[in-house]
């Protein structure tokens, strides 16, 4: 996080804060996910294994590095990494950003090209991520990504608290061993 401004990647402190916020939400979601799997498993090692497998699978299942079969395409929407990566890209890159290129556009300079025409941006568009796209309102808005991460975090924490509440209620109903011995 500290290296980005020093490398000149970001031009504004607002973008650095947004990236930090997305990374914070991503980490909180994965911590909560591990907690949910740990709380609902019968043994701690099983919960740890399930958490590790799901976390690593969700990185691949986000669909940015691989093309998922249509039957598995829905998995990306429960991956915190999917929403975080989208939010970070949309925060950092805008359609009017430019980069150095061999044959530039006359609109931005002789050796400058719009980021929108970069092959990496085209690959993201093929995978369903519209970032740095002219006249596309969804490529500039990060509210969906933010809401999705907060909603995922809320659901995971609700599952943790629900399990804790059920467990506490179960222990309340059990008789006290000292009361049983007195009778």
Alpha-helical (H) ranges within 103-142 are 119-126
Q: Give the mean model confidence (pLDDT) for residues 29-57.
A: 89
Give CA separation, 41 vs 46, 149, 160, in Å.
Answer: 6, 24, 12
The tokens of 172 are what?
A: 């309340």
| pLDDT tens, position by position, 109-127 | 666 666 666 666 666 666 6
Asked whether residue 130 is assigned to any structural domain, the reply reads no
Question: Judging by DSSP bridges, how do beta strands 112-114 and 98-100 pair with one another?
Answer: antiparallel
pLDDT over 60 (residue 35): yes
Asked whether residue 47 is assigned to any structural domain, the reply reads yes
3-class DSSP state of 176? coil
Asked whether residue 104 is assigned to any structural domain, the reply reads no
Asked whether residue 161 is assigned to any structural domain, the reply reads yes
Number of domains in the chain: 1
pLDDT confidence band for 156 (50 / 70 / 90)? very high
Asked whether residue 154 is assigned to any structural domain, the reply reads yes
Asked whether residue 85 is assigned to any structural domain, the reply reads yes
Give CA separation, 10 vs 4, 22, 127, in Å.
Answer: 7, 15, 25
pLDDT over 90 (residue 23): yes
Residue 73 belongs to what domain range?
A: 3-94+140-170
Q: Give the mean model confidence (pLDDT) for residues 30-53.
A: 89
pLDDT of amino acid 176: 67
Q: What is the pTM of this model?
A: 0.75
Q: Give the mean model confidence (pLDDT) for residues 15-44.
A: 90
Asked whether residue 123 is assigned to any structural domain, the reply reads no
- Tally the C-alpha atoms within 13 A of residue 170's C-alpha that lie toward its C-beta: 6
3-class DSSP state of 86? helix
Q: What is the DSSP letter of 151?
A: H
Instruction: Please state, in angstroms and rounded to a whole number, the distance separating the CA atoms of residues 158 and 65.
Output: 31
pLDDT of amino acid 86: 85
Asked whether residue 39 is assigned to any structural domain, the reply reads yes
pLDDT of amino acid 182: 59
């Amino acid at each position: 996080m500290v290296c980005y401004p020093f490398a000149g990647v970001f031009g504004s402190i607002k973008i650095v804060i947004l990236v930090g916020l997305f990374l914070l939400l991503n980490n909180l979601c994965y911590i909560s996910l591990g907690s949910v799997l740990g709380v609902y498993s019968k043994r701690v090692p099983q919960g740890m294994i399930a958490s590790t497998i799901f976390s690593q699978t969700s990185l691949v299942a986000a669909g940015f590095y691989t093309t998922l079969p249509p039957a598995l395409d829905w998995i990306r929407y429960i991956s915190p990494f999917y929403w975080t990566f989208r939010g970070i890209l949309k925060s950092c890159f805008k359609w009017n950003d430019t980069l150095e290129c061999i044959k530039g556009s006359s609109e931005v300079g002789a050796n400058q090209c719009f980021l929108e025409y970069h092959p990496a941006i085209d690959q993201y568009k093929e995978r369903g991520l519209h970032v740095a796209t002219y006249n596309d309102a969804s490529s500039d808005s990060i509210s969906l990504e933010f809401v999705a991460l907060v909603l995922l975090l809320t659901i995971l924490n609700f599952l943790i608290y629900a399990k804790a509440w059920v467990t506490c209620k179960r222990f309340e109903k059990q008789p006290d061993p000292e009361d049983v011995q007195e009778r």
